[in-house]
Amino acid sequence: MSIDSDLEKIALQEKRLQFKTFDAEAAWAIGSALKAAAEKRGAAVAIDIQLLGHPLFAYAMPGTTPDNLDWIRRKRNVVQRYHRSSYAIGLTHQRNQATLQSKTGLDLKDYAPHGGCFPILLAGTGCIGTITVSGLPQREDHELVVSVLQEYLNLTKENLALESE
């Protein structure tokens, strides 16, 4: 596993995991699937799905803390600014031996370039929202979102998972 191979795979994920439509029903189905997937892993995560800044799904599993909600806010801010996965932004800075703060001046109290927030990409339009989880190590937060989106979009036969560490 290398940063470059992860960035290539994340670019493919962002290209393939796009929606034709997205609404509150989709948010409910995806949020519920994220909760079930976390429970299956025995993990506690907080989940947030927003469409154009409007909250459509929010859930904090037992075992999470208010800190998870702040991580969600900060990761979401990264995706809303760059329209890319928060993990991709963090890995890009890591590869360049820089930080988001040193390169852009963005305050880390408001921006977290860590895995777990994925853009809701509407085909032919672009980023219209975010799907965020917090509670696992950042790579696992990212993979949880991607695996649920892959299943929801019926793309389970495609190899969209990051390489094993």
Record: fold of 3-152 = Beta-Lactamase (3.30.450)
What is d(CA 165, CA 150) in angstroms, rounded to the nearest whole number? Answer: 20
The residues, ordered by sequence, that sit 6+ positions from 67 with a Cβ below 8 Å of its Cβ are none
Q: pLDDT tens digits, residue range 101-122?
A: 998 999 999 999 999 999 999 9
pLDDT in tens, 21-60: 999 999 999 999 999 999 999 999 999 999 999 999 999 9
Give me the phi and psi of 63, to 5 degrees please.
Answer: 105, -10
Instruction: Quickly tell me which residue has 């075992």 as its tokens.
Output: 63
Extents of the domains making up the chain: 3-152
Whole-angstrom Cα distance, residue 74 to residue 163? 26
pLDDT digits (tens, 9 = 90+) for 49-60: 999 999 999 999
pLDDT digit string (tens) for 72-103?
999 999 999 999 999 999 999 999 999 999 98
Q: Identify the three-state secondary structure at position 126.
A: strand
